[in-house]
Amino acid sequence: MRAPCAAPAGAFAASAHLTDKYMSPNDSNPLRHPRGLPAFDRIHPEHVVPAIEALLEEARAAVECAAVVESPTWQNLVEPMEEALERLGRSWGVVAHLNSVMNSPELREAYNAVLPKVSAFYASLGQDDRLHQRYKAMREGPEWTRLTAPRRKILDNELRDFRLGGAELPADQKARFAAIQEELASLSAKFEENLLDATNDFGWFTEDVARLSGLPEDVISAARAAAERDGKPGFKVTLHAPSYLPVMQYADDRALRAEIYRAYATRASEFGKPDWDNTDLIRRIVGLRHEEAQLLGFGNYAEVSLEPKMAESPVQVTGFLRDLAARAKPYGERDMAELSEFAVESLGIDALEAWDVAYAAEKLRVARYAFSDQEVKQYFPEPKVLEGLFGVIEGLYGLFVMPDSAPVWHPDVRFYKLTDRDGTLVGQFYLDLYARPSKRGGAWMDDAISRRRAGAGIQTPVTYLTCNFSGPVDGKPALFTHDEVITLFHEFGHGLHHLLTQIEDLGVSGIHGVEWDAVELPSQFMENFCWEWGVLQGMTAHVETGEPLPRALYDKMVAARNFQSGMMTLRQIEFALFDMQLHGEAPGRSAMEILREIRAEVAVVHPPEFNRFPNNFSHIFAGGYAAGYYSYKWAEVLSADAYAAFEEAGGLNAEVGQRFWREILAVGGSRPAIESFKAFRGREPSLEPLLRHNGMTGQA
């Protein structure tokens, strides 16, 4: 039954948003009434379909009410819509999150059963000309003058999104546009499922520990435990990052490296099971995106993608990337020449193959700087790393992280709260650090609850922080490489962007409404503190002796910080240019053909012909970065320049931290990101700090 349109504005809002700690305990379906923290201890796959379908019906009723408002205002149009859509978004977000971190056949089936319905609803929302006209009436009428700056930004964003959502299309084209959106959602989900299945399916077994020569002891112990879980003797190597990456970096057995590399590089391709081949999915996704762009009147999908971003055009983006490539390539060529020479002279490898690069690089790093990643790793046990991270948050913002309690989706997951000096709750977060077969790869942050004014109070934000690190082994705490510590700080930067907002309107609160190519600014900014001596002193303790990181070893790490930075920069530019080119031209050429062209232009490391990188490039085919992967480098310019303000102040500085909070984190998406940056720095961003941080300011 649809709710009556006579319901007062905000009728869906209830004090339960603020007072109930968990979703309604009186409903047998814990997804049906999203209030407070999700009841992960009670959510099961069978709850998904009925809950989401009921919330969809409720959201449709809110749309119908809003669509007949005669004199639209914020209170009678936006607030009721926001409330109903947040309820749907909250529960659907829980389902999508569980599908990523606790994937199972039953959950996958339930997720895929309602995904087309959710996609169709949001597509229809963006095309509803009745709503579109009412938002336009607010923009053009007296209501506009009464709105705060954040609400004006929300309204402008909504009008832009109506245009990009097909609201201005004729009826027949609207139907086609909606069908495209629904199919794209299903194809992206299938892409991710294929990649997860292909990753989980592989296992390399041996009973000969000599084949694992060179691997760290904790990696060998994890391989033994993996084989035991499969009921087999010996050791198991997988394609999950905590297993795959150490093999590439440390395994002395070149044949093993080659075999594992090939398995990883051909995941979800024609070299594996046909049902898991993403090749046709890529072709279909790119084709549908191009058709969508043409329906909207754009030349290509890259132009559509850039509409809500900081960058003005694909030409501007490719110009930025090619300029950076030109600056980085001499350094990348030098890095590759040094590595090849070292491989010949010291390792007896005459022709450096893709499966040799990480191995040779680690050997060269040890030879040049007299330390290894594994040596450093012993100083980063998980408890000490978290203590150090939380100390940085306290030092920058005067906030405190403390353990909290809530239902979780896996025993390894922990829950924390963030408070100010008076004990006032600022936000909460879940921390899921370890890799497991039911979890998709990578590291990410996602919002669980967003800050907004609800009823008489403020709804405090909650976020998910997810990584894929190795867990504890043999009774010892988990040990993190320095790169993993950087990843953890990166994701916390995203989390703080969401948790520290001061905006009370949902559409621009936290990460909402932030331009996609600026959203990496707070995350990349946080990475810099992983290199500060004062920070590392407080977050390191040798797993055996408890001694902090020695200054001599730290000095070696700093000296090696820009080791092969030219190669790494070119690698990111390669991916970004491929993404932009793929979405910036009419379909016809294969993804591999375009990638080969880009590699010929900018790469110094050329993978073998069988490499099928596009088939596992989930960032752009399943992760929201389509024609937006350049954002990492774009935002790195902003983050490096932002951190330079702390360098100028002598490092971890509370006064500068408060200014960063006030001008960047607190404002969320309530104003253009470039305005926030200039408010913090007092000027336009400069490329020079990024080049300096990457050691690319002198002669190659």
- In angstroms, the CA 450 to CA 43 distance is 21
Token pair 């929201």 is found at 624
Query: Which residues are registered as beta bridge partners of 206?
Result: 235
DSSP sequence for 472-489? -BTTBPPB--HHHHHHHH
SS3 string of 88-154?
HHHHHHHHHHHHHHCCCHHHHHHHHHHHHHHHHHHHHHHHCHHHHHHHHHHHHCCHHHHCCHHHHHH
- In angstroms, the CA 494 to CA 248 distance is 29
| Active-site residue, 491 included | yes
Contact status, residue 304 vs residue 311, Cβ threshold 8 Å:
no
- Fill in the DSSP letter of residue 33: S
Contact status, residue 321 vs residue 629, Cβ threshold 8 Å:
no
Q: Where are the strands (E) in 593-682, listed by range?
A: none
DSSP sequence for 362-378? HHHHHHHHS--HHHHHT
What amino acid is encoded at 476 in this protein? K
Q: How far is CA 182 from CA 112, 187, 285, 437, in A?
A: 12, 9, 11, 28
Residues in the chain: 700
Q: Which two tokens stand for residue 631?
A: 């954002």
Q: Residues 58, 82, 491, 636: which is the catalytic one?
A: 491
- Fill in the DSSP letter of residue 381: B
CB under 8 Å to 411, separation ≥6 — which residues? none
- In angstroms, the CA 272 to CA 239 distance is 14
Residue 435: phi and psi, rounded to 5, are -75, 150
DSSP sequence for 255-317? HHHHHHHHHHHTTTSTTS-GGG--HHHHHHHHHHHHHHHHHTT-SSHHHHHHTTSS---HHHH
400-403 sheet: strands from edge to edge: 400-403, 414-419, 425-434, 462-469, 444-449
Angle, CA of 207, 211 and 214, to the nearest 5°? 130
CB under 8 Å to 669, separation ≥6 — which residues? 153, 157, 503, 507, 508, 509, 511, 512, 513, 514, 515
Counting DSSP H helices and E strands in the chain, the numbers are 28, 9
Active-site positions read: 491
